[in-house]
Amino acid sequence: MSLLVICFDPSELSQVAGFGASFGTYDVLLLTGEAGNAGASKIHVANLVEVPPADNIGKSVASVAANYTHVAAVSSMRAKDLMARVAGINQSAMITDVVKVFSETEFERPMVAGSVLARVKAESTPIVMTFRPAGFDKTVPGPNGSVESISISDTGRVKRVSTSARQGGRPDLSQAKFVVSGGRPLKDAATFEQVIGGFADKFGAAVGATRAAVDSGIAPNDLQVGQTGKVVAPDLYIAAGISGSTQHMAGIKDSKLIVAINKDGDAPIFDQADLGIVGDLYEVLPELEKALS
Amino acid sequence: MKAIVPIKRVVDPYAKVKPTADGAGLDSGGAKFEINPFDEIAVEEAVRQKEAGRFTEVVVVSVGKGECEEQLRKALAIGADRAVLLETQEPLDSPAVAKVLSEFVAAEAPHVVLMGKQATDDDNNQAGQMLAAILDWPQATFAAKTDFAADKATVVRETDSGEETLELPYPCLVTTDLRLNEPRYIALPGIIKARSKPLEKRPLASVPAPKSSVVSFAPAPARPPGRKVGSVAELAQAIKDRGVF
Ligand SMILES: Cc1cc2nc3c(=O)[nH]c(=O)nc-3n(C[C@H](O)[C@H](O)[C@H](O)COP(=O)(O)OP(=O)(O)OC[C@H]3O[C@@H](n4cnc5c(N)ncnc54)[C@H](O)[C@@H]3O)c2cc1C
């Protein structure tokens, strides 16, 4: 058994130790940035300026991965894009969104919008996985055994002509300790930014949204939380004007404390929130901001 | 330009699904089955491209049991030209589906494969990328906007931190995200008309063995019941008491 964890940037290095420990020792392939503590036996540093499109580096990454029985990455859109391609190239089994490791071949993962946990068995190696760090110990990784540079080649077949990243300094949703999310009733982008964004900035929180909010142009797409958006696991999740659909709850189940603000006392979110208040979010949020400050 | 759209039959994404008592299977309480919502978006996109004169033919394909015919008919009603059911009773995982589809796609030789980014039943998000890998085609996953010009495809795709725009040579594979389009409503006449469109059933002599399988299903643990508080002051206090703030 040998495990390689692929990290897209150094921010992921601190998230691999808990998962990696389930396998004993592991190596890391870091695609961009400088090596930091990851608790790896060996860290291969590719030193790419940015991560190229999955197609362009798929084969090169797959050839590194081919030296291992198990290859994993922290679950994210970019990981799903690249890792499934690598699995296809190496004809690997693939397990998406692993939350528990039972053995070298058996894993637990959520399905059907998080309503079911499946125990999945890989029938053959190699095995490619993406995993959710929230399911594993938050072990602070020690130093790496050795650091080696490695060359990942870019075929250039797919051209990236532009990127538009979210503006401004808010914490990354998937790693945030405190998330405030808004739903459909937030009217428009300016209201969302002022009411949800304003509240979040007071406390250094990350901002999230429902699909309904994103679809109606109230919130940018990368803020969508849920089955088909981001999965968050903060200490505190405040849901304002969110009904509590299965698809949204799939993304917030690992939160320590879920607080719901909804003007409809029968909204399904109250069944799953730890604390709920029936009220108008436009009144409750400003008052709560004062009370918590 | 010809497009292939692979579609999957899934249980209604709004149905309540739970494990059976023995944990060996899933019980969706007799809910109806649908085209996987992301695949339906892919069908819609391909049909719009045809209506705009970009694509000349849209072929939908599904791998699975005879009952998938229902979803293929719906795709024909949306506006696909013909459908093929690669029929098997065997269980398939994403690598097996990708392998079966790769042979179909190689024979059909389209310019574009458009398919959903993930199925809402197994939530795997694998098959498209695996298919692109086997074909050695360029891929753009999580498409939010497409432009299929004569010489290249331009895809705006969703990323973890926003969006990016990629240019891909043909042939290429694109997986769809939710915001790409809103599938049209199909009225009854469309469904009736689709009955006369070609739907070919091809039994698969053999399918690749799955590389993974589900051993058992368990319900996701329910969160302990919460409580409603009567005032904002009480809420703030309760949040502080939990020590998470
Ligand atoms: C394939 C698929 C994938 C999906 N993936 C996701 C996903 O990843 N994430 C996601 O979020 N959804 C997803 N959805 C959509 C999901 O099913 C719901 O439609 C969506 O989550 C609803 O968003 P909402 O709670 O903002 O809106 P609504 O359900 O409309 O709820 C709005 C709530 O706000 C309350 N409200 C209104 N005004 C106020 C006010 N002034 N103050 C306080 N409360 C107020 C209302 O009482 C209501 O409960 C998916 C759906 C499908 C089919």
**Residue A257 — very low, low, confident or very high, per pLDDT cuts 50/70/90?**
very high
CATH code, A187: 3.40.50.1220
Nearest CB among B123, B166, B223 relative to A53 is that of B166
Local structure of A254: helix, strand or coil: coil
pLDDT band at B43 (very low <50, low <70, confident <90, very high): very high
CA distances A265 to A170, B17, B189, Å, are: 31, 25, 42
Cβ atoms of A1 and A67 within 8 Å: the answer is: no
Q: With 80 as the cut, is the pLDDT of residue A166 above it? A: no
Element at B78 (helix H, strand E)? helix B69-78
H or E stretch covering B47: helix B37-51
Taking 90 as the threshold, does the pLDDT of residue A227 lie above it? yes
DSSP state of A158: S
Nearest-by-Cβ selection for A277 from B223, B229, B244: B229
Task: Indicate whether residue A262 lines ligand 1 (CB < 6 A).
Answer: yes
Looking at the 3D structure of chain A, how many domains does it have?
A: 2
Judge if A44 and A115 occupy the same domain. yes
Regarding whether A241 and A103 lie in a shared domain, the answer is: no
pLDDT > 90: what percent of chain B?
92
- Which range of residues forms the domain containing residue A101? 3-149
Q: Residue A235, class by beta-carbon neighbours within 10 Å (0-12 exposed, 13-18 middle, 19+ buried)?
A: middle
Whether pLDDT at B166 is above 90: yes
Contact residues, chain B, for A284 at CB < 8 Å: 232, 235
Answer whether residue A164 is part of any domain. Answer: no
Residue B225: the pLDDT is 85
Q: Residue B227: count other Cβ atoms within 10 Å of its Cβ.
A: 10
Is A138 found in the same domain as A87? yes
For residue A195, the distance in angstroms to the closest alpha carbon of chain B comes to 17
Q: In the structure encoding, which two tokens stand for residue A157, read together?
A: 């077949």
- Ligand 1 contact, B183 CB (< 6 A): no
- Can you read off the two tokens belonging to residue A146? 């050795």
Lookup result for tokens 């791998």: B63
Q: What angle do CA B238, B241, B244 make, to 5 degrees?
A: 100
Instruction: Decide whether any atom of ligand 1 lies within 6 Å of the A226 Cβ.
Output: yes
| Domain match, A247 and A113 both | no
Same-domain status, A145 and A212: no
Question: Alpha-carbon distance A251 to B173, whole Å?
Answer: 28
CA dihedral (B155, B158, B162, B168) in degrees, to 10, reads -30
A112–B211 CB contact, under 8 Å: no
Helix or strand holding residue A17 (H, E): helix A17-21
Residue A136 and residue A7 in one domain: yes
Residue B188: pLDDT band (50, 70, 90) is confident
Ligand 1 midpoint to CA A250 (Å): 12
Mean residue pLDDT of chain B comes to 96
Nearest CA to ligand 1 atom 26: A183
Cis peptide before B171 (omega within 30 of 0): yes
Q: Where are the alpha helices (DSSP H) in A195-280?
A: 198-203, 211-215, 246-249, 269-272
* Average pLDDT score over residue span A216-226: 94
Task: Measure the CA–CA gap between A160 and B3, rounded to whole angstroms.
Answer: 23
Q: Reply yes or no on whether the pLDDT at B62 is more than 70.
A: yes
Q: What is the pLDDT of residues A89-138, one digit of tens each?
A: 999 999 999 999 999 999 999 999 999 999 999 999 999 999 999 989 98
Best residue of A111, A124, A167, A257 to probe chain B, by most B CBs closer than 10 Å: A111
Residue B228 near residue A277 (C-beta atoms within 8 A) = yes
Exposed (0-12), middle (13-18) or buried (19+): which is A49, by Cβ within 10 Å? exposed
Which amino acid makes up residue A291? A
User: Are A142 and A185 in a shared domain?
Assistant: no
Residue A87 with chain B: CB contacts under 8 Å: 95, 126, 129-130, 133
Look up the CATH number of the domain holding residue A15. 3.40.50.620
CA distance A145 to chain B (A): 31
The residue contributing the CA closest to ligand 1 atom 36 is A241
What is the pLDDT, as a whole number, of residue B220? 93
Q: Per residue in A2-42, pLDDT tens?
A: 999 999 999 999 999 999 999 999 999 999 999 999 999 99
Preferred mutation among A7, A31, A51, A55 to probe B, highest tally of B CBs within 10 A: A55
The verdict on A24 and A102 lying in the same domain is: yes
A160 in any annotated domain: no
The yes-or-no verdict on residue A167 having pLDDT over 70 is no
The complex's ipTM works out to 0.95
Q: Are A122 and A87 in contact (CB under 8 A)?
A: no
Residues 6+ apart with CB under 8 A from B233: A291
| Domain annotation for chain B: domains and CATH numbers | 2-241 (3.40.50.620)
Q: What is the pTM (predicted TM-score) of this model?
A: 0.95
